[in-house]
Structure formats: structure tokens, C-alpha cells
Amino acid sequence: MAYSDKVIDHYSNPKNVGTLDKSKNNVGTGLVGAPECGDVMRLQIEVDEESGVIKDAKFKTFGCGSAIASSSLATEWLKGKTVDQAIAIDNMDIVEELNLPPVKIHCSVLAEDAIKAAINDYRVKNGLPELELEEKKH
């Protein structure tokens, strides 16, 4: 099966690969997936505490090209959004943007899970209640 040009582009030139200091109060970290399942994503956001805007986002992903592309795209979308806006990112937006085939939809779900896990980590660190998350099928 051929990968879409956008997947290939993110895979070849991934955006925002890296690590943020997870001990900082304004950094939220989401680690989702499992090595046995063949994909693990770690997504981090750094929030400007005054404005609530995500000023930086980084990822590292163990997985196929679509998983790498999904997390790379997610970091691009996160930057500049407020935390509240970021919650609204839906996996199907990622599927559409990257033109993912049905067998790769779980990569987008994982990216959405990683975003929400990072936001929750940030919220908990800052004394906010955790968001209730709906379970999506992988």
C-alpha cells in the first residue's frame, strides 16, 4: 500500500521531534500505546501560563510511518492553540489531513489520545480536574 505524500513528508522531515523538561509545571506529557502493540507515542506541550497558549510541542514516536506522521502533525497543530482549543482536535481531522487508509486510523486515535493525555497531565499538575475522555476504538 502506498503512503500519501503528506505521510511521506512528515516521515522524512518530522516536525518538532524532541523532549521537553517534564519536571516543569507548565509542561504536560502524554505517553500512550505499548511496545508490544508496535506503537508508542510521547507528546509534550509547553503552555504559556498567562495566556493558556501552547507555545511549544514536541514528540517522539516508536511506530510506523503513519504513527510518526500523525504525531508530527499533532505537534504542528498544537502550537499556537490554547489548551481548550487543543482538546477539540479530533482523530478524524488527522485522518483527513494525512489521507490515512482504514488500517492506519488507529495511529490517528493514538495521536488524539496522546494530546489528551498531555493536556490532562498539564491540568493535574496545575490543580485542575482531569478531563473525562471518551474511549475511541483503536
Summarize as ranges the residues that interact with another protein (CB under 8 A). 3, 8, 11, 14, 17, 19, 31-42, 60-65, 67-68, 103, 106, 109-110, 113, 138
The radius of gyration of the chain from alpha carbons, rounded to an integer in Å, stands at 14
Question: In this complex, which beta carbon is closest to another protein, that of residue 83 or of residue 105?
Answer: 105
Place of cell 482538546: 87
Contact 86, 118 (CB under 8 A): no
Decide whether 50 or 132 has the Cβ nearer to another protein. 132
Q: Which is nearer to another protein, 43 or 47 (CB)?
A: 43
Which active-site residues does the annotation give? 37, 107
The CA distances from residue 14 to 9, 11, 18, 29, 60, in Å, are 7, 5, 10, 19, 10
Q: Helix or strand or coil: residue 127?
A: coil
Q: How many CB atoms neighbour CB 4 within 10 A?
A: 17
23/84 with CB nearer another protein:
23
b vs e for 105-127, b when ≥16 Cβ sit within 10 Å of the residue's Cβ?
Answer: bbbbbbbbbbbbbbbbbbbebee
Quote the least distance from Cβ 56 to another protein, whole Å.
Answer: 17
User: What minimum distance in Å lies between the beta carbon of 66 and another protein?
Assistant: 9
CB of 85 to another protein, least distance (A): 24
| CB of 82 vs another protein, minimal distance in Å | 26
